[in-house]
Amino acid sequence: MTVETITERLGQRVGEALLDTRTHKETRLYLTVDPAAVVDAADELFNRMQARYVITAATDQRRDHGAYLITHFFSFDADDVYVAVHTRVPEGNPRIDAITPTVPGAGWAEREMRDVMGVEPVGHPDPRRLVLPDDWPEDLHPLRCDFSTADSPAPVTGMEMPMKDIPEGAVMVPVGPYFPTQHEPESFAVFVEGETVVGSDYRGFYNHRGIEKLGCSDLTYNQIPFVAERICGICGFVHSCAYCMAVEEAAGIEVPRRADYIRTVFLELERLHSHLLWTGVAAHIIGFDTLFMQTWRMREPVMWLCEKLTGNRKTYGMNIVGGVRRDIPDDAHDDIERVLADIEREWTALAEAVPGDRTLMARLRDVGYLSPEEARNVCALGPTARGSGKRIDVRIDHPYAAYDELELSAPVEEGGDTLARTLVRLAETPIAISIIRQALARMPDGPVRAEIDEDISPGLEGIAAVEAPRGESFHWVLTGENNRPARWRVRAPTYANLQAIDAMIKGDVLADVPIDIGSIDPCYSCTDRMTVIDRRSGQMRVMTREEMLGSRQTAEHTGT
Amino acid sequence: MTIASKLKEALLCMKAGRVTLPYPFEPHDPEEGFRGLPKVDVNKCIGCGGCANVCPARLIRVIDKDQSTRVLVFLYERCTFCGRCAEVCPEGAIEMTRDFELSTDDVHDDMIGEYHIFMGPCERCGRCYRPPTALDKLMKPGMREDTIDRKCPMLCPGRTEEKE
């Protein structure tokens, strides 16, 4: 489907309500529609034309347009087209029809839009707060321009966490506030009948760092890559790369080809160490610590290699708008090849041993089933989607960096269970090694960074997506005044994949929940509170900060 | 099948042997090119403030203490070791050392670096500025005792045009 067909079909559906269209290189389509037609447009794109919903962004444009700009993003993966549907909601009446009843995957994004920008999604089936803390004032929306990064409302005690009602006959088991095996805080409430899971609820975002706010208030274009890199502790390069590509697209900056290849090498090195890490973590979750130790041992040389090439083992600090900061010297090729060869040899041995291990199979097969329909509804990404038979991979669908010149494939499994997601990752690892080798062999000579002398003019927009080890990482940048972005929207893959957990764990036994959750390779933010249930009354409430501090002090005194 | 798999797995582990490093009992230096704690050479610094302008963590503060002293304050505890300051410094006054052992057992160690740079006051607007050449800097009042009662005024670039 080309941008022309999409525009034409949307025009037929919403008619006069399609106010403006703009394309960029036949791969980006920016539409402006009347607020009244936004649900129709989303329905036409998602349900009729079978686009994939990506994310929703809200931008404060009250000063220039007297309105909030709401943007729904969709992707036509088979046709390499991203569609942005812009809508301007008047300042005086910040309400817009929710698209969640039509596009189920938009559930979280529209709740977030209400939290951070104060634009009410009318008709949202689950209008609870998502991102902001429970004690945050109702009428304070942090992404609005009149909210300063220095503002901080006083904490309030006695607020309740808005949880879903427990189904009749079920009991709630908290998985969290500290994930039992992943060493990351999160808060799942799992509803069980006996051993069987019948539903769940999730409350996260407790350590929301406001990075998007920083990016559209305090920071300049070239400060953001280093902050973006810290969005994720594993796939940081993915975020800095996607951000830089979005700015480069918006400003029309031509990146030297060598820089594209260097970015590709590091993206794949990151996938390599991320998948090795995940294999270890997954093994650890099901109590197979030998595998955990061995995969992490295999992973370590990649970290040392990156330290040698970039100056740091994790936060590489390589990306900058216009290219990369360090070249890969020719004499480093041997070092890289040595690390790759070692991993390839050991990984092959491991990949041969693992599928024969009956204990492992017993824990992975037929648990955490995610049907292809459900995967599409929640807009699952990466190995989570590919484990459910969805052939989507940004590297192939929307080629970026040097992927258009390299040979690669996206392994797909039809099983939909945790084993399928594991097999996808096992198969992706040798492909990553092959991509690095190809990129190093074909890397052209030349500069690694474009010289940018002029300021970037305001009002331009750019979309970039990168296939992170966990799925598509999506960045949208709208340029602003004073050489800094007016809005920078980030959607990490776990944002979509976490919404699939509810469907995945239903019908499983409680003991499988940790590996089900672990199988999407989640990246949580941190959460800092507890849910306690009074056993006699069955009442659920959230412990306050004071109570937690109190209990900590008691624990210290009694030495527990 | 299971037995064979277990044997293969055991073989993997045995081949690997012991891999844990004896660090911190033995030093483990990072690779060449590692970006550790930035070190500022005050003798090279010209006080342009370019480092403060690009620092993503915004930990470098530029404070003009008086008419001829510019103080660069590095709040090192916020440093993310990206090395942008060293990259943009026109004089090469900042070097990323390989020092990564920054933990301390002294609670009063606030990890602040203060660097005093002699600038030179513009003799009309009174603000700190960098004299164009080293010789000009020598001519600034306060730099040398014999320049204190110098007659000819030194002006910052904006003011020089005004004079002409």
Quick check: B35 and A311 CB within 8 A? yes
Query: Could you say which residues from 307 to 366 on chain A have a Cβ atom under 8 Å away from some Cβ of chain B?
Result: 307-308, 311-312, 315, 317, 325-326, 346, 349-350, 352-354, 356-359
Token pair belonging to A478: 């709208």
In terms of domains, do A370 and A510 share one? yes
In terms of domains, do A110 and A218 share one? no
Task: Tell me if A530 is assigned to some domain.
Answer: no
In terms of domains, do A328 and A410 share one? yes
Nearest CA in chain B to A300: B19
Which tens digits make up the pLDDT trace of A291-314? 899 999 999 999 999 999 999 999
pLDDT surpassing 90 at residue A443: yes
Alpha carbon of B29: minimum distance to chain A alpha carbons (Å):
12
In terms of domains, do A432 and A353 share one? yes
Q: What is the DSSP annotation of A425-482?
A: HHHHHHHHHHHHHHHHHHPPPS-SB----SPPPTT-EEEEEEEETTEEEEEEEEE-ST
Closest C-alpha among A6, A356, A491, A543 to residue B5: A356
Interface A-B: count of C-beta contacts within 8 A:
77
Interface check A223 vs B, CB under 8 A:
yes
Q: How many CB atoms lie within 10 A of CB A380?
A: 30
Which tens digits make up the pLDDT trace of A215-247? 888 899 999 999 999 888 888 999 999 999 999
Using DSSP, state whether A555 is helix, strand or coil. Answer: helix
In terms of domains, do A100 and A219 share one? no
Residues of chain A neighbouring B32 (CB-CB closer than 8 A): 308
User: By a Cβ cutoff of 8 Å, what residues of chain B touch chain A?
Assistant: 1-2, 4-6, 8-9, 11-13, 16, 19, 30-35, 54-58, 80-84, 87, 96
Nearest CA in chain A to B10: A290
Structural domains for chain B: 32-119 (3.30.70.3270)
In terms of domains, do A496 and A395 share one? yes
Quick check: A290 and B13 CB within 8 A? yes
The predicted pLDDT at position A165 comes to 85
| Residue that terminates a domain, selected from A95, A122, A146 | A146
- Where does the pLDDT of residue B147 fall: very low under 50, low under 70, confident under 90, or very high at 90 and above? very low
Q: Are A119 and A68 in contact (CB under 8 A)?
A: yes
Task: Tell me if A75 is assigned to some domain.
Answer: yes
* A315 → closest Cβ in B1, B34, B80: B80
Domains identified in chain A, total number: 2
The predicted pLDDT at position A94 comes to 95
Q: Which residue has the tokens 């040392």?
A: A304
Please tell me what DSSP assigns to residue B77.
Answer: G
Quick check: B30 and A307 CB within 8 A? yes
- Where does the pLDDT of residue B46 fall: very low under 50, low under 70, confident under 90, or very high at 90 and above? confident
Interface check A41 vs B, CB under 8 A:
no
User: How far is the C-alpha of B48 from the C-alpha of A349, rounded, in Å?
Assistant: 57
User: How far is the C-alpha of A204 from the C-alpha of A201, rounded, in Å?
Assistant: 10
pLDDT surpassing 60 at residue A538: no
The predicted pLDDT at position A545 comes to 52
- Where does the pLDDT of residue A62 fall: very low under 50, low under 70, confident under 90, or very high at 90 and above? very high
Disruptive mutation site among B1, B3, B5 for chain A (greatest number of A CBs within 10 Å): B5
Task: Tell me if A165 is assigned to some domain.
Answer: no
Q: What range does the domain containing A130 cover?
A: 3-146
Task: Tell me if A182 is assigned to some domain.
Answer: no
The predicted pLDDT at position A554 comes to 39
Task: Tell me if A133 is assigned to some domain.
Answer: yes
Task: Tell me if A456 is assigned to some domain.
Answer: yes
- Where does the pLDDT of residue B140 fall: very low under 50, low under 70, confident under 90, or very high at 90 and above? low
Closest C-alpha among A270, A244, A223 to residue B87: A223
User: How far is the C-alpha of A126 from the C-alpha of A135, rounded, in Å?
Assistant: 19
Disruptive mutation site among B55, B81, B82, B98 for chain A (greatest number of A CBs within 10 Å): B82
Which tens digits make up the pLDDT trace of A140-199? 999 999 998 888 888 888 777 777 888 888 998 888 776 666 667 778 889 999 999 999
Alpha carbon of B160: minimum distance to chain A alpha carbons (Å):
27
In terms of domains, do A113 and A236 share one? no
Would you say how long chain A is, in residues?
560
| Residue that terminates a domain, selected from A482, A499, A518 | A518
User: How far is the C-alpha of A176 from the C-alpha of A46, rounded, in Å?
Assistant: 34
In terms of domains, do A253 and A116 share one? no
* A358 → closest Cβ in B2, B8, B33: B2
Alpha carbon of B139: minimum distance to chain A alpha carbons (Å):
35
CATH of the domain at A49: 3.30.460.80
Sign of the torsion formed by the C-alpha atoms of A403, A404, A407 and A408:
positive
The predicted pLDDT at position B68 comes to 79
* pTM score: 0.89
Interface check A192 vs B, CB under 8 A:
no
The predicted pLDDT at position B146 comes to 52
Interface check A24 vs B, CB under 8 A:
no
Higher pLDDT: B24 or A260? It is A260
Interface check A224 vs B, CB under 8 A:
yes
The predicted pLDDT at position A556 comes to 38
In terms of domains, do A352 and A493 share one? yes
Which tens digits make up the pLDDT trace of A509-531? 988 888 888 888 887 642 222 33
Average pLDDT over residues B16-24: 87
Task: Tell me if A343 is assigned to some domain.
Answer: yes
In terms of domains, do A386 and A499 share one? yes
In terms of domains, do A139 and A278 share one? no
Quick check: B5 and A357 CB within 8 A? yes
| Residue that terminates a domain, selected from A117, A146, A175 | A146
Please tell me what DSSP assigns to residue A290.
Answer: H
Token pair belonging to A230: 């810290």
Task: Tell me if A558 is assigned to some domain.
Answer: no
Report the first-to-last Cα separation within chain A, whole angstroms.
63
CATH of the domain at A456: 1.10.645.10
Residues of chain B neighbouring A359 (CB-CB closer than 8 A): 2
Q: What is the DSSP annotation of A373-439?
A: HHHHHTT--HHHHHTTT----HHHHS--TTGGGS-------S--SHHHHHHHHHHHHHHHHHHHHHH
In terms of domains, do A132 and A216 share one? no
Quick check: B5 and A227 CB within 8 A? no
Which tens digits make up the pLDDT trace of B60-119? 999 988 877 889 999 998 899 999 999 999 999 999 999 988 888 888 887 899 999 888
